[in-house]
Structure formats: structure tokens, C-alpha cells
Amino acid sequence: MPKRIQKILISNFRGATSQVDLDFDPAKNTILLFGENGSGKSTITDAIDFVCNGNFGSIKDRSSVRPNKHLQSLNAPMTSLKVSMVFDDKKWDATFDGTQAKIIGPAQRPLARILRRSSILALVTEEPRDRYKSLKAFIEVPGMEKCESALREAVKNTEKKLEEATRAVEQSERDLQLLWEAEGKPGKTALSWAKSETAKDISDLNTSLTNITATILSLECLSSPIITLTEAQLSLASAKKELDDINKKAEETDKKEARIERDVPLVEILQKTQDYLNVHPQLEKCLVCEQIVPASQLIQQLKVRLETMKEVADLKKDIEQAEKSIVLSEAKLVDACAALKEKIIAVLDFCQKSSISVIKNNGDWVSLQSEEKTIDSKNPNAVKKFAEKIKIQVSKCADTLELEKSSVQKSINHMNAIRNHVRSITENKESLTDLHEQAKRLKEILKVVETQRKFYVEEILNSISKTVDEIYKKVHPDEGLGGLSFFLKATTQGSLEFTGKFQNATDIPPQAYYSESHLDTLGISVFLALARYFEDQNSIVVLDDVITSVDEAHTTRLMQMFHDEAAHFNQLIITTHFKPWRNRYCYSLGPVGHIQLIELLPWNILRGITHTKTKICVDDLRAKLQEEPLQRQHLSSQSGILLECILDHLALMYGCKLPRKPEIQYTLGELLGGIDSKLRKALKTSVIDSVLKTPIKETALEPVILKINEITWVRNMVGCHWNIAGLGISDQDVKDLVHATLELADLLICPECGELPRGKKEGIYRKCSCGARRLLPLEMPV
């Protein structure tokens, strides 16, 4: 048995405000969930998507909807959300952590391939890129696409490097050309000239630059000691002035140097006495004169005297400090003078010995050396004056040396620039070759990857094109449409194009000419073809309300197409709000025996999603016949409706003659009259042995039709109108009508698929979907 969903339990998931418990019949591969709008069809589909695929379902693409707020039912906590599923006797439980589905269960979850109305629209009417996205679940190769993007990036990076290297070579060649032209274009080409230039030795230039730099530094060495000497002189002058100022202050306050000298020891004695008395406050007489004076009084007197004498002591300290400062400054001046003298000797010696022509020619260094010997080393002003004289002499040489240095430096820079350009050209030209080869190879690899990916996807698309056409033509035969072909744009990643046929025109975009319902069918056909292509034992197919409204003829063909396609899948779950579809099953106008019909009841927040088994008219009639007391009116009415349905079906099949009316509505009597005696006599049914595939029994319909003809009046009298005579009709008459109706239904409706034989012509008879019920004749007898 194919693997199928057997049970779905939904709690606090979207519209499921109360727990929804859905049991799917594993013996049937098609489940039709019928419900009016807002009854919970999409909630059930989304729940399947959630537990099978871990997706958020239809809310994923809706604006302003956030799964962490809106996936759970209104007012329900996120933690209470749960979807459970039993598939092939294995169970999975899915909960939600606010960001993603947490699914617990065996490793291999079933894959639900879900088609929603929004996807159909995306598939047929959106731009090629969005169309590709809508089919991505089928045709995507995410790993390879990621590698392809990385490869494309590698090609781009290599081309960028190639471009940079080319630019660098061009720039260096341009610069070299300018240098070459500035030199008067020596040699054959700029590069050959540059190469010969770079071969030249520039060590002489470097040595010359080093010597000139060293000489300039040597000549500059007088500046610093001159400044030091000047600073020492200023420092000494400042110290002397400070001493003078203190002395003047002492005189002004009438505190002569002599008195200061005298009072200082006394201050010290008094200070010590005060300290002693502070330690011995109990003394009552003076320690020197032994006069009776309390210690506290003596301490007070001492305090007054010491305050008066403090200024004297401070002045003394300042004078001592100023004198020390003078001594220190004098010593520094002597040192600075000696240091300057030393530098003078060094500079004169350097200049006298120097081989540099500028120095040689710019001073009589020997006579200056002689003059130096006459300078008093202890006379700072004399030393300084002589130093300034030499400095002036030296600075004349320094200016010339700076010019020479600049000239040499320029030559070196020039040579270096040539070398750099030559190196840049050589190196970049080498890497240009490599990069060029690399880019070429990467592009070739990219071409292979692109081609193979497109070939892979197109292989799928080609193989489904035929199936799409086949499915499509089941719904729209002989309408001059179809011839569908899918392909990828050669230069674009993730872009799906398709063309079709419209009357005489081929290769036209279907969305330009097809009607909305034709485009709907096209979308469904593409989806089913892909689902068929990728069908495996672990997948199921869900169609969520994909049919909006179609006419009678197309409804029959759509139903047939879905039944045919269901055979290719493990399980096909269809949700719909399209009532005619559901009603056709109720009246055996579809193979209801092969599908499970579930009817969703109107939703409200208290009871949430509720469902019931859809009643099949024949079964319902049979069940009601057993009820007591007998529901006379209901049974008569329902029998009449079922009879009208069967007779209308026969009239349509055989093209029976019926009275012409502005509206196509016929009474039971008219329909019965449409079956003339020739047809009545020819009508026979048979059941086929499922093993031998031969008719088991052939039964003529005439007896039962005649019986019905005789008793149809009961329907009008009891089931349709109020009248006194109707009240007198016996229950047995009503039962006879029901029995006759059921007899006809049982003879015509297939016991296997539950469908009336219909347009499926085969040889000499008509038959139902599964072929187990046959109906003769094939055409109206003449």
C-alpha cells in the first residue's frame, strides 16, 4: 500500500481554535475537503505544510503577517500550538519556537508538495524570475547555484586584477615615456633607455649624498653650544639681580645684614625654648632668671616674639639661596664656555682638514685656528663672539652644500623612478600573462557549470512539457491551445520562460492570449507534471482551493483530470469551496467510491474548525428508508431529485428529445418521457468481474423504468406539494417509489467507483471511471 497521511491533529494553529482531528482513509488516495470560504481549508493545508515541510504556509507571503504573532490561534499562547501527523503508521509532532518549526519524529518526514492559488498566479502571470521562484521547490539546485555564484565572483575578481595590472603597466609606460622625452629620447625606445639607465651604478651618488649630509651636520654643531652659553649668561645675570633685590628689601625694612646675622641664633634658641615649654607646661618659674612666671605666660610671650622675628629669618634664607644660585650659574657659564670652545676647535679642525672644495675655498681656516688660540677661554663674551664669526663663515659653505645635496638627491630620485617603472612594467607584464590565462580558464569552467545547470533544469522542463500538454488537453481538448514549452534564458540565472500555442500561432506567451481559467489550468498542469516527475514513495500532493469557478463541461473534465492524475501520487488532498464539484460526487456524477469526502462546517471562534462526512444521496436515501417513523415527504422528495439527476444524465448521454424551453429545466415527467421506447428497450447494464474482466450479469433497465413511470406521481403528491389526496397515500407507495429509485440507481451506479456510466465510450458500450459498470447501448437506437 502506498504511504499516506492517516491522521492530522491540529491544536491552536491558525483557525484551529479547538483541536481538529482529521482521519484520512488510507485505502483512498484522494481526499476532497469541501468547505465554504473561511471554514478552515487553508489552515488544514498550512498545518500539513508545517508538519511535513516545516513551512509557515500561506501566511508566509502575506504582508504585515509575522509567524511569531499570527501562526498560533487568536489569543492562544505560542507554546500551545501543535500539529501532529500519522503517516505510514509513523507519527510526527510539530511545535513552534517563535522562529521555526520544531518537528519531532522519525528521520524521513514525508514531503508535501502544495499548490495554492497564489502560486498558480505566480507561475503563469508573474515575471520570469518570480515564475522560476514559484517552481524553485522542484527545480532548485541550491548547492550548485551557490558554487556557481562563487565561481562568478572568482571570474570577476580575476578580471579586476587583470584590469589593475594592465592599468599599472600603461601608467608606468606613460611615465617612462615622459622621463625619456625629458632626457631628449636617448636610445631606441623609452624602455630600452630605461633598462640601460637602471644598469648604471649609483653608489657614487649615494656616497656623495652621505658626505654632504654629514658635513652639513658638522657645520651646524656650533649653534647649540652658542645658545647654551647665552642661556648660562642670562641665568647668572638673573641670579645676581635677585640677590640685589633681596638686599634692597632688607634695607628698606630697616633690618640690616648685621642685625640679621645676630638675630638668627637667638631665633633658634627661642624656638627651642618654646618647644621645651610646650612639653613641660607645669613649670611655674623662668629657668634662667628663676622669676615666678607660669609656663603658659612664657609660651604666649615667646609666640609673639618669634612671629616678629620670622621675617628676619626668611630674608636670611632668601639671601643664602640667591648666593648659591649665583655660584651655580657661574659654574654653568664656565662649562658652557669650555664646551663652545671645544666645538670651535672641532669645527676649525674639520674645515681645515676637509677635502670638500666649497669649504676649502671659503675661509682661511689656518689663520682662524691661530686666532682661536688667542681667545681667553674664561671670557664668555670673547668666546661667543669668535664662535659667531666662525658660524658666519661656515654658513656661507652650508648654503652651497645644501644646493649640492639637493642636486645629488634629485639624480638619485630620478634613477629610482626609472627603476620602479621598469620593475612595475616587467612584473605586471609577467602577471598579466598568468592572470589572462587564469581568467580564461575560470570562464571556461563557468561556462561548463552554467551549461550543465541549465541543461539539467531544461531536461526536467522538457520532460514535463509533454506531460503538461497532456494534462492541459484533458481539461481543454480541441480548443486550439497547448503546445507548451519551457526553457531558461541563456544568460540569466533563475529565470523561467514558457511559450504555448494559440489557434494558428505558436511560440506565443500564453499569458497574452489565454483566459484566466485557461491560465489556471496551465498552472495546475505544470504543478502536477512536476509533482509527477519528482514523485517518490515519501511525498504527497496537496491542492489548496485552486479552482475558482468553471462551467459544467470543464468541471466534469477537471474532475476526470484530477482522478486520472491521482493515480500517479501516493495521496492527493484537494480542498475546494466549489460546490458543484462536491455536489457531483453526492449524486454519483463522479467516482465517489475512490475518494474520501470531508465537509467542513462553518467556522466560529468557539468551536473552531469542525467537519463531517459528506452524505452521498443514494446512501442517505437507503439509510432514511430504515428510519421509523417514515419520513414520507423527505423520502419522496429525495427520490425525485435522484431520479431527475439519473434521467438527466441519461438524456444528456443519448441526446434524448425533450420539450424546448427558455430555461433548461425539466420536470421528472418530461425526463422520463425523453426516454423513448426504443431506448428503454435497449438500455442494459452489466458489472465486470474484477479478475476475469468479463461481464458477470446483464440486466435490462426497462422493467424498472416502467415501474418508476407508474409511481412517479407519489413524488409530486407527497414530496413536492400540499394536497388532501397526498395525505391519503400509503407509506407503502412511498416505499415503492424509493425502492424503484434505488433499484435504478443500483443498476446504473458502479459498486466499485460509485459513479454513473458516462461519456467513456469503449467498443459497444459506455462505462464508469473504473470500467466496472457498463451501460448499453453506445448511442441512441435508430
The contact set with other proteins (CB under 8 A) reads 139-147, 150-151, 153-154, 157-158, 434, 437-438, 441-442, 444-445, 448-449, 452-453, 455-456, 536
Tell me the three cell numbers of residue 160.
579586476
* SS3 of 78-139: HHHCEEEEEECCEEEEEEECCCCEEEECCCCCCEEEEEEHHHHHHHHHCCHHHHHHHCHHHH
Q: Which are the contacts of 420, defined by CB distance < 8 A and separation ≥ 6?
A: 172
CB nearer to other proteins: give 290 or 536.
Answer: 536
CB of 444 to other proteins, least distance (A): 6
Compute, in degrees rounded to 10, the torsion defined by CA atoms 5, 9, 15, 19.
150
Instruction: Provide the residue type at 531 as one letter.
Output: A
153 versus 399: smaller Cβ distance to other proteins: 153
Grid coordinates representing 258? 648685621
Q: Which is nearer to other proteins, 249 or 453 (CB)?
A: 453
* Rounded least distance, CB 557 to other proteins, Å: 33
Residue closer to other proteins by CB (options 412, 449) is 449
Between CA 602 and CA 401 the distance in angstroms is 106
Min dist. Cβ of residue 112 to other proteins (A): 18
Nearer to other proteins, 201 or 536 (CB): 536
Calpha distance 556→645 (Å, rounded): 15
In the numeric block, the cell 539539467 is attached to: 456
Nearer to other proteins, 28 or 152 (CB): 152
Nearer to other proteins, 259 or 447 (CB): 447
Q: Which one, of 598, 507, 521, 575, lies nearest residue 553 by Cα? A: 521
- If the CB atoms of residues 434 and 552 are measured against other proteins, the closer one turns out to be 434
Instruction: Measure the CA–CA gap between 92 and 534, rounded to whole angstroms.
Output: 23
Angle subtended at Cα 658 by Cα 655 and Cα 660, rounded to the nearest 5 degrees:
115
Residue with cell 414520507: 632
CB 455 → other proteins: shortest distance, Å?
Answer: 8
**Closest alpha carbon to 567 in 115, 29, 110:** 29
Q: How many CB atoms lie within 10 A of CB 229?
A: 24
Give least dist CB 111 to other proteins, A. Answer: 12
Q: What angle do CA 507, 512, 513 make, to 5 degrees?
A: 85
* CB 438 to other proteins: min, Å: 5
- Comparing CB distances to other proteins, the nearer of 266 and 445 is 445
Shortest distance, CB of residue 139 to other proteins, whole angstroms? 8
Type and span of the H or E element at 597: strand 595-600
Rounded CA-CA distance 2/478 in Å is: 35
Q: What is the biggest distance separating any 2 CA atoms in the chain, rounded to whole angstroms? A: 175
By C-beta, is 144 or 214 nearer to other proteins?
144
Q: First-to-last CA distance in the chain?
A: 48
Of 149 and 515, nearer to other proteins (C-beta) is 149
CB of 149 to other proteins, least distance (A): 9
Q: Find the shortest distance in angstroms from Cβ 540 to other proteins.
A: 18
Q: What residue type is assigned to position 392 of the chain?
A: I
Q: Check if the beta carbon of residue 713 is closer than 8 Å to that of residue 726.
A: no
Tell which phi-psi region holds residue 98, choosing left (phi > 0), alpha (psi between -120 and 50) or beta: left
CB of 697 to other proteins, least distance (A): 48
Residue with cell 561556462: 447
CB 222 within 8 A of CB 394: yes
Residue 586: phi and psi, rounded to 5, are -60, -35
| Residue with Cβ nearer other proteins (1 or 150) | 150
Nearer to other proteins among residue 88 and residue 736 (C-beta): 88
Q: 15 with 47: CB under 8 angstroms?
A: no
Written as nine digits, the cell of 621 is 436515501
* Cα distance between residue 600 and residue 592, in whole Å: 17
Residue 496 bridge partners (DSSP): 488
| C-alpha–C-alpha distance, residues 611 and 592, integer Å | 18
Q: How far is the CB of 534 from other proteins (least distance, A)?
A: 9
Contact 520, 481 (CB under 8 A): no
Nearer to other proteins, 366 or 448 (CB): 448
In the complex, minimum distance from the CB of residue 495 to other proteins, in angstroms, rounded to a whole number: 18
Min. distance of Cβ 543 from other proteins in angstroms? 23
321 Cα distance to chain centroid: 81
Q: How far is the CB of 460 from other proteins (least distance, A)?
A: 9
